[in-house]
Amino acid sequence: MVQVMAEINALLGKGSEFEGKLTFEGTVRIDGRFVGEILSDGRLIVGEGADVQAEIRVGSVEVYGDVTGNIYANEGVELYAPAALRGNITSPALHIDKGVFFEGACQMMSQPAPSARASQAAAPVYTQAPSAAAARREPALPPARSTDDVTAATRAISGLYAAENAGSRGPELKHSF
């Protein structure tokens, strides 16, 4: 387990249950049961033994317990054994430890996800400027490999993933561990 060095602003302790909307600044740790929505630009830690069923939009998140729901993180998502995540991840960086259960899709992005403050606004619209080749009427490059090829190449890998696509929308990686 990674040592937590940052000061924790709030704790939902083991044996506690909460249902609703959680917004916070700084770092919050959940070791109990939470159902609802979590919005922050800060750091969320889901402790071992925690059960979280929520739509999560945070700056960064570390998961050691069980999460059911989608995670949108502006900085990164870290999944440490014995974590179990059933949901989709949108983040510029992802770390998955050996022994983690992850069922869902992962979209790596080069732009930050909508922050907690912008969660009430409409989802962003991604556009792509025409390539230089299209502007000069040159033939386009062959299409990129399919997501199935990427999935096959990354299925057996555990570790840190970061979006390398320079386009406005990063590649989508689907994982089943």
Lowest model confidence (mean pLDDT) among 68-77, 97-106, 146-155: 146-155
Place 6 in a pLDDT band, splitting at 50, 70 and 90. low
Place 115 in a pLDDT band, splitting at 50, 70 and 90. low
Which candidate, 64, 59, 71, 80, places its Cα nearest to that of 106?
71
DSSP 38-93: EEESSEEEE-TT-EEEEEEEEEEEEESSEEES-EEEEEEEEE-TT-EEES-EEESE
> What share of the chain in percent tops pLDDT 70?
59
The secondary structure element, H or E, covering residue 147 is helix 147-154
State yes or no: pLDDT of 15 exceeds 50.
Answer: yes
The residues, any chain, with a CB within 8 Å of residue 137's CB and separated by 6 or more, are: none
The residues, any chain, with a CB within 8 Å of residue 42's CB and separated by 6 or more, are: 9, 24, 25, 26, 27, 28, 58, 59
State yes or no: pLDDT of 169 exceeds 80.
Answer: no
Mean pLDDT of 74-103: 97
Write out pLDDT tens, residues 50-83. Answer: 999 999 999 999 999 999 999 999 999 999 999 9
Mean pLDDT of 155-164: 44
Q: Give the per-residue pLDDT at 109.
A: 83
Q: Give the per-residue pLDDT at 7.
A: 86
Angle at 36 between CA 35 and CA 38, to 5 degrees: 115
